[in-house]
Amino acid sequence: MVENSWKSQFPFLMQKKNGQPLIYFDNACMTPCPIPVLEAMEKYNKEFFSCGGRSNTHFGRDVDDKVEETRELVAKFIGAGASQEIIFTKNATEGINLVARGLNLHAGERVLVSDREHNSNLIVWQVLQKERGIELMILPSKSDETFDLAGLEAELQKGIKLVSVVYSSNLDGYTLPVEEIVKLARKYDAFVMLDGAQAVPHHAVNVKKLGVDFLAFSGHKMTAPSGIGVLYGRLAHLENLSSLLCGGHSVKDSRYNGFELEDIPARFEAGLQNYGGIIGLGEAIKFIKQVGFDFIAKQEFELNYFITRELKQIGGINFVGVDDPKSRGGIVNFYHEKMDSNQLTIFLDESANILTRSGRHCVHSWYNSRGVKDSIRISSYFYNTIDEAEKLISALKKILGLV
Ligand SMILES: Cc1ncc(COP(=O)(O)O)c(C=O)c1O
């Protein structure tokens, strides 16, 4: 493994507690912002603080330029055809909700999701089941917990309007065979939406090559601040999509008895936006491009391989999801037979300044369906090192009374 100096770019990660350096293994939840992102947001707040889209001052024009620059940057980053296909949202959840509600699905129309969806791509469909009478199909994984393409085809043959699945899972890091999923969906004229919250920060994504219809993701898992996300939608589909919110900025004109909608994407971005967040997202993309996806993948795999191997030697450990660390990106999710995962997380924090995540990781449905207890998730990013992973393993061994 190449040890690296990226960590020093993140002021949050450089803090110490009782002389112990902070070790951050909760990257599937949020990633901190590096200096260039923090500086760009500070510059906006200190030097050209203004709203976009409606201010005729030079500050307002600066904001407009930055917002559109970032839109272009995002479009190129994910291989979109045009910058209008990029809608700024609050987070991935908002993007998924926008599509779910905006498609105006009718009673009896069928939506298919996988059985490892984050609540953000499950609950809204359950609500629409109740509100509109849509049918929700949950596709079971195969016995090795990988995606069942044959099962998908069998469901598509029965008629599916939309396949809405997680691209890479926050549960176990598993990346679904999205190329094949999109090909199959096309064959049967179904739309495809991907929940890209754990994919876009970790590997190169190209929506055009994939041929996907919608992709939602968030900034706070890719070194941008929280409160900013993106929905990509194919232009032709956006024309037919209803807005989730309406109000200021989403209309060209209004009268007491009607209004004229703005063009795309403004019609989907009602109200003042998170301009600092958008600017931060642009800088985050530049930063990630500098790090490079090859480096990110290599670092995550080596960490995953090392942590998995060491945990196996501890014994009493059960892994959640797919088994092979090669298929798990930066995520190792497990529970110990005898030790409560929530207690483990607290002990790691208090005794070793190591931040991990415990619970059901917003995929409660998976845990409930399999009777699995709360687990502890170690999620790495490019600034984590083997030295940190060694400290994690030795802290775990101490807590478990093995050393
Ligand atoms: C796979 C996945 N989907 C959706 C979400 C929700 O993302 P957001 O908080 O940006 O709405 C998360 C967040 O953890 C996630 O990991």
Under 8 Å between Cβ of 163 and 191: yes
**Rounded to the nearest whole angstrom, what is the distance from the C-alpha of residue 253 to the centroid of ligand 1?**
35
Structure confidence at residue 3 (pLDDT): 53
User: What's residue 393's pLDDT?
Assistant: 98
Question: Domain map of the chain by residue range?
Answer: 6-25+292-399, 37-289
Q: Is the pTM of this model over 0.95?
A: yes
The set of protein residues with a Cβ atom below 6 angstroms from ligand 1 is 28-29, 91-93, 118, 120, 166, 170, 195, 197-198, 218, 229, 362
The SS3 call for residue 392 is helix
Catalytic residue among 29, 51, 246, 362: 362
Q: What per-residue confidence (pLDDT) applies to 1? A: 45
Mean pLDDT, 10 residues at a time, over the chain (403 residues)?
79 94 98 98 94 83 95 98 97 98 98 98 98 98 98 98 98 98 98 98 98 98 98 97 95 97 97 97 98 97 97 95 94 96 97 97 97 97 97 96 88
* pLDDT score of 196: 98
Q: Do domains 6-25+292-399 and 37-289 have the same CATH topology?
A: no
Distance of CA 343 from the midpoint of ligand 1 (Å): 24
362 is known as an active-site residue: yes
pLDDT at 403: 84
82: helix, strand or coil: coil
Residue found under tokens 């209803």: 242
The CATH class for the domain spanning 37-289 reads alpha beta
- How many whole angstroms separate alpha carbon 187 and alpha carbon 305? 37
Cα–Cα distances in angstroms (integers) from residue 188 to residues 78, 154, 204, in the given order: 25, 11, 27
Residue from 97, 215, 228, 362 whose mutation best tests the ligand 1 pocket (most atoms within 8 A of CB): 362
- Tell me the three state secondary structure of residue 60: helix
Query: Could you tell me which residues are beta bridge partners of residue 399?
Result: none
Fold entry, domain 6-25+292-399: Aspartate Aminotransferase, domain 1 (3.90.1150)
